[in-house]
């Protein structure tokens, strides 16, 4: 796909398949290539849209932004493509943005899949860590951030999976340090979505790796209990990147959920 102009920036995206739209929102500090398996698993049935968020991957935008801005970009992307409604899949930071969309644009979502993410905002300590992340990225580049994050991303079962480690590392190392800093500030200032969960009536599906140390099974259970129309699946032998660690199990479950939500 050629890039599309969205709110003054150029967004790159993959657009694969036909049918109802599934919009995939990547995590931090990754890019749209983390959804390659989603495209393979879902595009025979759905139209899978997977953009590089503003500033990430091949999309432009180095000025500071909020999660509202990222959500607004996605709504503008749907508008530009003439799409009324989409199911959103968001992993971690992508989940924070999916929750932002569900709060501010519920009429645009026919379903929501929250993967390895949480509804709560950052506590004081987490906010301080974000500030350090931003300063380090601006001073030293992406490498120290990648080195810090990499050991926490995978389950112990996959901790030695060199192919996966290399893939994650290369996504992180190629992320613009300015974007890492912008994302750290944006995530630190995101509101707590917990109070809004009870208003999110669309069919929802929560996925968590049983060994996710960043957004834990406890966080996932809390969301499922508060969402009015949600179910949960825990993926075995998976950490924070459950859809990359166990793609067959995760996308099998997502396909079944989307089918049910679509026919509801």
Q: Output 177 or 203, the one with its CB closest to ligand MLT.
A: 177
Interface pick for ligand MLT out of 28, 35, 110, 196 (rule CB under 6 A): 28
Query: In the complex with ligand MLT, which residue's Cβ is closer, 60 or 129?
Result: 129
User: Which position among 92, 175, 176, 182 is part of the footprint of ligand MLT (CB under 6 A)?
Assistant: 92
Six-digit token string for 143: 């490498």
Using CB under 6 A, which of 138, 165, 214, 226 touches ligand MLT?
214
- In this structure, the strands spanning 9-11 and 4-6 are antiparallel
Length of the chain: 264
When asked if residue 205 is in the footprint of ligand MLT (CB under 6 A), the reply is no
Please tell me whether residue 65 binds ligand MLT under the rule CB under 6 A. Answer: no
- Closest CA relative to residue 208, chosen from 261, 158, 249: 249
How far is residue 189's CA from residue 232's CA, in Å, rounded to a whole number? 27
67 near ligand MLT (CB under 6 A): no
| Smallest separation, CB 260 to ligand MLT (Å) | 27
Residue from 27, 55, 203, 247 touching ligand MLT (CB under 6 A): that is 27
Tell whether residue 145 is a contact of ligand MLT (CB under 6 A): no
According to the binding rule CB under 6 A, does residue 250 interact with ligand MLT? Answer: no
Q: Which two tokens stand for residue 133?
A: 């992340």
- Return the number of the residue (187 or 233) whose C-beta is nearest ligand MLT: 187
238 counts as binding ligand MLT under rule CB under 6 A: no
Told to check if 25 binds ligand MLT by CB under 6 A, we report no
Q: Angle at which helices 143-153 and 124-140 pack, to 10 degrees?
A: 130
Within 32-61, the residues that bind ligand MLT by CB under 6 A are none
Counting contacts by CB under 6 A, is residue 90 touching ligand MLT? no
Token pair recorded at residue 224 = 């499922």
| Closer by beta carbon to ligand MLT, 46 or else 70 | 70
Q: For residues 213 and 234, which CB has a smaller minimum distance to ligand MLT in the complex?
A: 213
Shortest separation between residue 209's beta carbon and ligand MLT, angstroms? 12
Structure tokens at 79: 């508008």
Q: What is the distance between the alpha carbons of residues 212 and 101, in angstroms, rounded to a whole number? A: 24
Q: Are strands 47-51 and 13-16 parallel, antiparallel or unpaired?
A: antiparallel
Q: Which is nearer to ligand MLT, 25 or 77 (CB)?
A: 25
Which of 38, 86, 93, 98 is in the footprint of ligand MLT by CB under 6 A?
93
Does 187 bind ligand MLT (CB under 6 A)? Our answer is yes
**Binding residues for ligand MLT (CB under 6 A):** 27-28, 92-93, 187, 214
């Amino acid at each position: 796909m050629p890039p599309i102009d969205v709110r003054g920036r150029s967004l790159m995206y993959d657009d694969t398949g036909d049918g109802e739209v599934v919009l995939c929102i990547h995590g931090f500090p990754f890019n749209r290539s983390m959804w390659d398996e989603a495209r393979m698993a879902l595009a025979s049935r759905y139209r899978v849209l997977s953009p590089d968020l503003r500033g990430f991957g091949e999309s432009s935008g180095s000025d500071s932004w909020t999660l509202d801005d990222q959500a607004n970009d996605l709504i503008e992307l749907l508008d530009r493509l003439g799409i009324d409604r989409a199911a959103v899949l968001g992993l971690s930071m992508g989940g924070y943005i999916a929750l932002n969309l569900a709060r501010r644009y519920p009429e645009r979502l026919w379903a929501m899949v929250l993967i390895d993410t949480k509804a709560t905002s950052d506590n004081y300590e987490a906010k301080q860590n974000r500030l350090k992340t931003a300063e380090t990225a601006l001073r030293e580049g992406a490498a120290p951030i990648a080195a810090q994050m990499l050991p926490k991303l995978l389950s112990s079962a996959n901790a030695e999976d060199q192919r996966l480690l290399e893939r994650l590392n290369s996504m992180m190392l190629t992320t613009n340090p300015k974007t890492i800093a912008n994302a750290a500030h944006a995530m630190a200032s995101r509101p707590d979505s917990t109070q809004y969960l009870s208003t999110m009536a669309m069919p929802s599906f929560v996925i968590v790796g049983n060994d996710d140390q960043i957004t834990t099974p406890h966080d996932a259970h809390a969301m499922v209990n508060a969402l009015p129309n949600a179910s949960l699946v825990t993926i075995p032998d998976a950490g924070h990147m459950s859809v990359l660690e166990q793609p067959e199990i995760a996308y099998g479950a997502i396909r079944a959920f989307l089918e049910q939500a679509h026919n509801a």
